[in-house]
Amino acid sequence: MAPHRSKDPVPVLGPPALGKQKILDLLKFRPIDFAEIQKSLRENAEEAAKVKNGENKVEFSGRSLLGTLSRDAGIIKDGMRVSSAIAERSDGDFVYLLVSNFALSSTTVEEVRMHFPKGARVKIKHPRALCTAKGRVIIEIHNPMYIDFLGIEVPDGLTVEKIWEEASAALEKKDYVRAIHLLTRCIDEEGYKNKVEALSKRCQAWLGLNCYERAFEDAKRAHVVDSTHRHTYLLKGQLFLGLQKFRAALDSFYRSGLADDDTMKRCARLIEQRDTGNYELREFILGKSKAPEVGDYLGPVRMGMAADEEKGRGLFATEEIKAGQLLLVWNAAAVAPREDLPAKLMRKCLTSRKSLFQFLGLDSELAMEMGLFKPTNVLIHDQQQDYIWFDAVPAIAKLCSSYAFQIEDKPESPMGLWTLPALINHSCVPNVSQQMVGTALFVRAARNIRAEEELTLPYMDVKKPLDERMYWTDSRWGFTCKCLRCRVEARLHAQRPEFPCFHARMREAAKRKDRAEALEELRRIAVEVEDQIATLASPVERDWVRTSYYLAYRAGLLERSSDSPAKLSSRVSAYQMMAALHATCPGYGIVREMVALAKSALPSPGMEAISEKSRLLIEKEFLCVLGEQKREFLDVFVDELLKGADFDILRT
């Protein structure tokens, strides 16, 4: 989540360095044959022999290659990425195609062969040719949009009707790539009668591969020929649904007359959620249902530059906001195991131009147009922007290391990238809380927020002493937190030599083998901290410091011992500690701590009737995590929690 900070900000939105004419020039392809490549490479052959594999590169931008895949595809391991190698034939010569796995996301031979079946005719735009030391020609392809499938080679004398039959069978078997190749043969056949059907089916095959933009092209072409074609409307509905364009999806489903009731209702629900931010999560919270499907929601939030220059960009409230109000609901751009995330994000760029621009914008250091994040705004693939794709490869690799984070704090937990929430900066006194619902991130105001105030989140557990917080922000994210709480505590550290010692003593206590001794020392520390802060005039500053030494306070309040010489509970009550946590880091997984503290104040363990004011405080905490809820639901929830229920949603 930490923002990536490079020294030289690069403006990326819109065509960056290249002017319009240059782009158009790049798009003027002319076919060349392999002999031409080999000639160029031969001229450099002597040079090539001296250098290591792959270092002598010849680029053929503005040209394209035509050929037929004459061998089965294979896989080779190439450093970080897995590439699929396939052979091309032209006049009896072989050329190897290396398709970067960033673009393909396929890791098995079967998958690669499915994408590149033997006999497929392909056109490759912007070829980059390499000559290895052995004189072998390799064409690199990082962007699958640079490969156009021109249909598959079929035996001589095969009628178009027979090809159509084979295509239908392939589609039935979900062999989408083969279906696309065969249907392309039908579509390209002069005067073919079934053109609309063929385009519609090819659209369906592209949808099967999640290639929304190519599917959209075919749907458009089908409707040019027959604007009433119902099956194409049905496919268009699915396509728009995949792109989160819900109104257009509903409209297309309606026109098709073929969509079932559930699909129509699903669209209507997603539209309502997106427009109103009204999400029904009760069943999910109580663990009675799976995480519901949710559409993205953009509340009163804008992007801007933080006052503290080191922080770079941040998100800001555009109006006054009440605690509990929903600010963002954001689906992950992709979720995958760490090593597969770049490939998944690349695939995402193929299905949505908007994602590509968001990624490139994230990689820059500049505040972006909020229009790019509006859920209603969907950019469809624009042929002229193909070249930007290539820039996305390094950008995405960087995003994965700077902005992606794990869904759960477990080593095996998958990683995800949530584009807009990734820009929320850190504070040790945060004002928003976030909750994972499936793979969607819900961001709420955790306290009242003024208009134009910056939104902040804790990047880690902030119930820790200043030194430890500083260690984490510096070592993991490379910045020094300058939030008000850190500044207040830094002043205390400078003025009173006891404070740096407290942290050292806490660490020593944690190492002790004898648990009773460790707890005793922690209790003593809490009492001493409490004595130190008694003179602080500001109650909220006292709360911040208490939260910093929560581990010690916890020992003093939750694990009391009757013969304890250090009496923390006579100085500070469990309720005061609850209030301190609430004032410092509301909504961030402290509900269960609060329940434990509330119960500790009871005369005998096991009693569930906590004090009225403790209960109210816990309810207030829920507001920060879950937003406004109905009274009866809140009662059920708090009661369950007091009985010891463990709600997954409260895990952080």
Positions touching Zn ion (CB under 5 A) are 428, 481, 483, 486
**3-state SS assignment for residue 574:** helix
CB of 486 to Zn ion, least distance (A): 3
Of residues 98, 105, 116, 87, the one with CA closest to residue 53: 98
Three-state secondary structure readout of 198-249:
HHHHHHHHHHHCCCHHHHHHHHHHHHHHCCCCHHHHHHHHHHHHHCCCHHHH
Beta bridge partner(s), residue 49: none
User: What is d(CA 90, CA 142) in angstroms, rounded to the nearest whole number?
Assistant: 22
Which is nearer to Zn ion, 218 or 467 (by Cβ)?
467
Direct distance between the N- and C-terminal alpha carbons of the chain, in angstroms, rounded to an integer: 15
- Identity of the residue, 345 or 481, whose beta carbon is nearer to Zn ion in the bound complex: 481
Q: Which is nearer to Zn ion, 309 or 612 (CB)?
A: 309
Taking alpha carbons only, the member of 251, 225, 209, 224 closest to residue 236 is: 251
The residue (of 472 and 575) whose beta carbon lies closer to Zn ion is 472
Whole-number minimum distance, CB 473 to Zn ion, in Å? 7
Closest distance of CB 625 from Zn ion, Å = 21
Q: CB 560 → Zn ion: shortest distance, Å?
A: 31
Q: In whole angstroms, what is the distance from residue 541 CA to residue 499 CA?
A: 14
Smallest separation (angstroms) from Zn ion to the CB of 572: 23
Min CB(528)–Zn ion separation in Å: 23
Find the shortest distance in angstroms from Cβ 492 to Zn ion: 13
User: 346 vs 585, which CB is nearer to Zn ion?
Assistant: 585
Q: What contacts 241, CB < 8 A, 6 or more positions away?
A: 249, 267
Residue that has been written with the tokens 């490079």 in this structure: 6
- Selection from 87, 88, 85 nearest residue 66 by Cα: 88
Q: Which residues of 282-293 are buried (b: 16+ CB within 10 A; e: fewer)?
A: eebbeeeeeeee
Whole-angstrom CA distances from 393 to 332, 363, 379 are 19, 11, 20
CB of 318 to Zn ion, least distance (A): 25
Q: How far is the CB of 261 from Zn ion (least distance, A)?
A: 52
The one-character DSSP state at 425 is: E
String of DSSP letters for 436-451: EETTEEEEEESS-B-T
Contact 311, 326 (CB under 8 A): no
Closer of 86 and 457 to Zn ion (Cβ)? 457
CB of 541 to Zn ion, least distance (A): 13
Q: Identify the residue whose tokens are 């799976």.
A: 290
Of 67 and 458, which CB lies nearer to Zn ion in the complex structure?
458
Partners of residue 96 on adjacent β-strands: 87, 138
Question: Quick one: 375 or 430, whose CB is closer to Zn ion?
Answer: 430
- Pairing relation of β-strands 297-298 and 425-426? unpaired
200 vs 473, beta carbon nearer Zn ion: 473
Please identify, using beta-carbon distances, which residue of 586 and 627 lies nearer to Zn ion. 586
